[in-house]
C-alpha cells in the first residue's frame, strides 16, 4: 500500500504539486488523471524518489520511500525511448541488472516476457530495427522484468494498435491478482474507466476530485440523455428543462435539470423536432473530466 500525505513540490516560485494526499491499495489500479501540465509527472517523480518533495511524506508498506525501494519499483515513463543501436536482449538484461537481478535470471526473465508478448523472434534485433509498437513492448518489459511490487505506468497505451492495447491491458490486469500496487497515469479516460477502481483528478497541482470511480459517477451522474434528431439543434436552447448540451455530428448529449423526468421531456421534444434516437446515459469519465477541469479553471 502506498500512502502519500500532503505532498508539496515547488520549482522556484511555482507550485507544481499543491498539497496532494492519496492512498493506493495493493491489488488495485489507481488512476492519476489530469490535463497536460497538471503535475502528474512531478507527482510520479517524487514517488519514484527522482526528485525530493518540498514537504509531505510518501510511505510504502509502512516505511518512507528511500533509495532502497528502487529495486521494487517499476516505472514506464510517458515518453518512450531505448538505446537504439543496442540489441533487445542486451537492453533488457541491462535494465534488470540495474534492479539487482542476477544476469542469469535476467536472461531467463527476458525470454519469458518476450515470449509472453509474442516478440521472442526479435530477441537479437537492434532496437532501431523494431516497429514503434514493438519498441514499446520492449520498454514495458524493461519496466516490469524485476517483478516490481509498485508499478507506475505513465500513458502505457499510447502507440499501441487495438490488438496490442488489449494485450497490454490483459497484462496489467494480470498483475492485480499478484497483489501489485499500480498507479496508472493517462489521458485516455475510456481506458482509465475500464481499469481503475479509484482515481485522483488533479489540475494545476491541486486535487480536483478523488475517490472510487463508481461513487464519483454517482456523484456527477446528473440527468443525462443522448439524442439523435433531424434539424437544427438550436431549438434545444429554448427548452427550460435543459441545463446544458454538447452537440456532436451524429448525436447530442443533453444534461437535464435534476427534477426533470426524461420520459416527460421526450414527449415534449417530439412535438418540436424529429427524434430518431433517445437514450439515458451514465456520464463517462471523459465527461466528468472535462466538466471538472473547466469548472476548476479560474474565471
Partner 1 sequence: MMKKIIAIARWEYLEKVKTKTFIISLIITPLLIISFSVLPSILFQQESTNVQVLGIIDETGTYFLKLEEELQKYFLPNGQNKYVLINLTQKNQNLEELKNLADKKVLKNLLEGYLIIQTKEKDSILAEYRSDVFGNNEIVSRLEETLNSIRIESILESEGMQSKVISQIQDRTIVQQNKIEEEGRITKSDFLTTFFISIVFILLLMMMVIYSGQLLVRSMIEEKSSRLIEMLVSSSTPDELLAGKVLGLSLLGLTQMVIWALIGLGLVGSALVPQTAFHNVLPMLIYFILGFLFYTTLFVGIGSTVNTEQQAQQITTYLSLILMLPVVIAMPVIQNPDFIVTKIFSYIPLTIPTVMVLRLNVQNVSTLEIVLTISILVLSILIVTKISAKVFRIGILSYGNKLSFKEIINWLKE
Residues near partner 1 (CB under 8 A): 45, 48-51, 67, 70-71, 73, 75, 77-86, 90, 94-95, 97-100, 139, 142-143
In the numeric block, which cell numbers belong to residue 21? 494526499
Whose Cβ is closer to partner 1: residue 108's or residue 214's?
A: 108
CB of 176 to partner 1, least distance (A): 22
Whose Cβ is closer to partner 1: residue 82's or residue 285's?
A: 82
- DSSP states of 120-149: GGGTTSBGGGS-HHHHHHHHHHHHHTT--S
Asked if 30 contacts 47 with a C-beta cutoff of 8 angstroms, the reply is no
Whose Cβ is closer to partner 1: residue 94's or residue 239's?
A: 94
Whose Cβ is closer to partner 1: residue 81's or residue 240's?
A: 81
CB of 15 to partner 1, least distance (A): 17
Backbone angles phi, psi at 38, to 5 degrees: -80, -20
Whose Cβ is closer to partner 1: residue 86's or residue 252's?
A: 86
Asked if 93 contacts 48 with a C-beta cutoff of 8 angstroms, the reply is no
- Residue 53 Ramachandran class (φ > 0 left, ψ -120 to 50 alpha, else beta): beta
CB of 67 to partner 1, least distance (A): 6
CB of 164 to partner 1, least distance (A): 20
State whether residue 76 is helix, strand or coil: strand
Asked if 78 contacts 185 with a C-beta cutoff of 8 angstroms, the reply is yes
Kindly tell me the burial class for residue 245, based on how many C-beta atoms sit within 10 Å of its own C-beta (0-12, 13-18, 19 or more).
middle
CB of 84 to partner 1, least distance (A): 7
Amino acid at each position: 500500500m502506498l500512502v502519500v500525505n500532503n505532498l508539496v513540490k515547488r520549482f522556484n516560485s511555482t507550485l507544481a504539486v499543491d498539497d496532494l494526499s492519496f492512498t493506493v491499495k495493493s491489488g488495485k489500479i489507481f488512476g492519476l488523471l489530469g490535463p497536460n501540465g497538471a503535475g502528474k509527472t512531478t507527482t510520479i517523480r517524487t514517488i519514484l524518489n527522482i526528485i525530493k518533495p518540498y514537504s509531505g511524506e510518501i510511505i510504502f508498506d509502512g516505511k518512507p520511500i528511500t533509495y532502497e525501494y528502487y529495486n521494487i519499483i517499476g516505472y514506464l515513463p510517458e515518453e518512450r525511448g531505448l538505446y537504439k543501436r543496442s540489441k533487445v536482449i542486451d537492453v533488457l538484461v541491462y535494465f534488470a541488472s540495474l534492479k539487482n537481478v542476477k544476469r542469469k535470471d535476467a536472461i531467463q526473465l527476458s525470454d519469458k516476457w518476450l515470449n509472453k508478448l509474442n516478440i521472442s523472434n526479435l530477441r537479437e534485433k537492434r532496437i532501431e530495427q523494431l516497429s514503434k509498437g514493438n519498441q514499446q513492448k520492449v520498454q514495458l518489459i524493461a519496466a516490469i522484468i524485476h517483478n516490481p511490487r509498485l508499478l507506475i505506468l505513465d500513458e502505457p497505451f499510447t502507440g499501441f494498435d487495438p490488438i496490442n492495447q488489449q494485450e497490454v491491458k490483459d497484462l496489467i490486469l494480470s498483475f492485480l491478482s499478484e497483489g501489485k500496487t499500480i498507479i496508472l497515469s493517462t489521458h485516455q479516460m475510456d481506458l482509465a474507466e475500464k481499469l481503475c477502481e479509484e482515481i485522483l483528478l488533479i489540475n494545476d497541482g491541486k486535487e480536483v476530485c478523488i475517490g472510487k470511480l463508481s461513487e464519483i459517477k454517482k456523484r456527477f451522474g446528473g440527468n443525462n440523455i443522448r439524442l439523435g434528431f433531424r434539424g437544427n439543434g438550436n431549438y434545444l436552447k429554448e427548452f427550460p428543462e435543459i441545463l446544458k448540451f454538447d452537440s456532436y455530428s451524429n448525436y447530442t448529449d443533453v444534461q437535464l435539470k435534476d427534477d426533470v423526468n426524461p420520459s416527460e421531456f421526450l414527449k415534449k421534444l417530439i412535438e418540436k423536432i424529429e427524434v430518431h434516437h433517445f437514450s439515458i446515459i451514465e456520464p463517462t469519465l471523459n465527461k466528468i473530466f472535462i466538466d471538472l477541469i473547466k469548472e476548476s479553471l479560474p474565471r
